[in-house]
Chain A
Amino acid sequence: MIDHGFLRELRAVTKERNIALIFDEIQCGLGRTGTLFAYEQVGVEPDMITLAKPLAGGLPMGAVLMTEPIAAAMQYGDHGTTFGGGPFVASVALHVLDRLSDPALLEHVRATGTWLGHELNEIAHRTSRIRQVRGTGFIWGIDVMGTAAHVVSEAMAHGLLVLTAGEYTVRILPPLVATKEELARGLHILEEVL
């Protein structure tokens, strides 16, 4: 987890020196941390953020959001892409953005995410197979003893799909609509596997 104070200092330094500050919210943005954008929780505004993954509900789509001064530096013909922001994908993304902006969904991610972190720490305590638990909302990394790939493979055999992030970190990114009961079932499998 990145330190909020560090980000605030970074913003001050980059502003003073005219350095563009870009937050990559491709994975942590659009509700995954419990606010529509993760930067909202830090108290600083970057010059740009990048978005993608959930934006169009599984259709490929990315976006760069920028301040007026950055936008003003770009002229016609400076950059382009044939498919970007086409009507089909943008229509679907409008629906997804509305759903992911829903205050009730974001509150669910915040509240259930706090519970999820607590449960993961309890599993770490009970199994002694976890070195560290990091994350917030519905984005968690669990540093395990042994390899993460082994945990992924064993979990799959027991009906749970999880990811890796590097060699020793199991990554958990459940759908934001997952209920506490569904998450509890997955955590039970994870604990058994560990």
Chain B
Amino acid sequence: MTAPTMKETINSPDQTGAHGAPSTPDSLESAILGTYKRAPIELVRGSGVHLYDAEGKSYLDFGSGIAVNSLGYDDPGLKAALHAASEGLIHTSNLYHTAPGERLAAALVARSFASKVFFCNSGAEANEGAFKFARRWARTLGEAKHEIIALRGSFHGGSPSAPSRRASRSSNAISRSSMPRSARIRSLR
């Protein structure tokens, strides 16, 4: 379900406007690669659905850090979970069993159609994985399927094999990746 067309806000036109001097370094001073046109505010804290900048101005947040902060900011339950998690292991690698991942996978399986879960670190990586699993599955069926077909105007992450960001700019564009033919992507007509 893709509703509405959800291309990430990257390389969007200037969002700074003429509303006061930036409180953060501009792109000429920042050591961060300029892949995002950042708004000229520095956010320092949040509470519920509100964010606050370095100058104390409050903002109602209708973006949730791009659909991430579903529980809002400074949520007591989430903070307690973070504190509790910090008392346990942080990382072991996937060479060993750890209980939290097993429990999370079981919970996701119990609440969905699925029977197995692969964990990773981002949406782009999840889609990359899904493309690979689909191709591997097709191979076990003895079929030479390899193409990934996406909806026109859709966005599925910034990785090289995802339907391209440029293609998603126009609703009529063919969504084709820059990958070799064996991994190409086309849009659904």
Nearest to B41 among chain A residues (CB) is: A156
B64 within 8 A of A: yes
Task: Name the residue among A28, A64, A147, A157 with the largest chain B CB count within 10 angstroms.
Answer: A64
The answer to whether residues A91 and B126 also contact, given A24-B2, A182-B49 and a CB cut-off of 8 A, is: no
Contacts of A84 on B, CB cut-off 8 Å?
A: 94, 118-121, 125
**Interchain CB contact under 8 A, B119 and A90:** yes
Which residues of chain B have C-beta atoms less than 8 A from A169's C-beta? Answer: 4-5
Complex CA gap A30/B9 in Å reads 21
Is A177's CB under 8 angstroms from B140's CB?
A: no
Query: Bound state CA distance, A140 and B4, in angstroms?
Result: 7
Which residue of B39, B140, B156 contacts A73 across the interface (Cβ within 8 Å)?
Answer: B140
Contact of A38 among B1, B82, B116 (CB under 8 A): B1
CB distance from A41 to the nearest CB of B (A): 8
Whether B35 sits at the interface, judged by CB under 8 Å, is no
Given contacts A1-B3, A51-B126, contact A100 B101 (CB under 8 A): no
Interface centre among A36, A73, A157, A189 (most CB of B within 10 A): A73
Besides A30-B70, A53-B123, 17 more A-B contacts (Cβ < 8 Å) are A2-B2, A18-B145, A31-B70, A50-B123, A54-B69, A58-B68, A63-B119, A63-B120, A64-B133, A85-B94, A92-B78, A98-B107, A153-B39, A156-B19, A160-B60, A172-B63, A182-B49
Please give the residue numbers on chain B whose beta carbons come within 8 Å of chain A beta carbons, in ascending order: 1-7, 9, 12-17, 19, 39, 41, 48-49, 51, 57-73, 75, 77-78, 80-82, 84-86, 88-94, 98-101, 103-105, 107-109, 111-127, 129-134, 136-141, 143, 145, 151, 154, 156-157, 168-169
Residues of A whose CB lies within 8 Å of any CB of B are: 1-2, 7, 18-20, 22-28, 30-33, 36-39, 41-42, 45-54, 57-58, 60-74, 78-101, 134-136, 139-141, 147-150, 152-154, 156-157, 159-167, 169, 171-178, 182, 185-186, 189
